[in-house]
Amino acid sequence: MKKFKELLKSPHIQIALATGVSIIVMAYFSKRVLSDPISYLQMAIPPFIAFVYENVLNKFKKKKVATAWYWVIAIFAVTALIIILHSF
């Protein structure tokens, strides 16, 4: 259990989990809830944010902008925004 908690402290793991959850949530809403499916381009936005985070992390290691939780919140916010905007 201790190794698992240490693993979850890794910013790479946090971003990967957030991206995976967002893709699963969008796929579920696209298939089961929304009247028409979410486009592939819209589904690619959360992984693109994860890609941008990795580049920011490599460039600004110890800066506040490289904090993983900011980017996790951004991934979830974009996911919610895509679902909300697609439902109209």
Tens digits of per-residue pLDDT, 23-61? Answer: 999 999 999 998 899 999 999 999 999 999 999 999 998
- Note the pLDDT of residue 79: 97
Q: Does 5 have pLDDT greater than 90?
A: no
Q: Does 2 have pLDDT greater than 90?
A: no
**DSSP notation for 6-21:** HHHT-HHHHHHHHHHH
Contact present, 79 and 26 (Cβ < 8 Å): yes
Residues 35, 25: Cα–Cα separation, whole Å: 15
Q: Domain-by-domain residue ranges, the chain?
A: 2-86
Q: Please, which residues have CB within 8 angstroms of residue 46's CB and are 6 or more apart in sequence?
A: 18, 19, 22, 23, 26, 75, 78, 79
Residues 68, 50: Cα–Cα separation, whole Å: 10
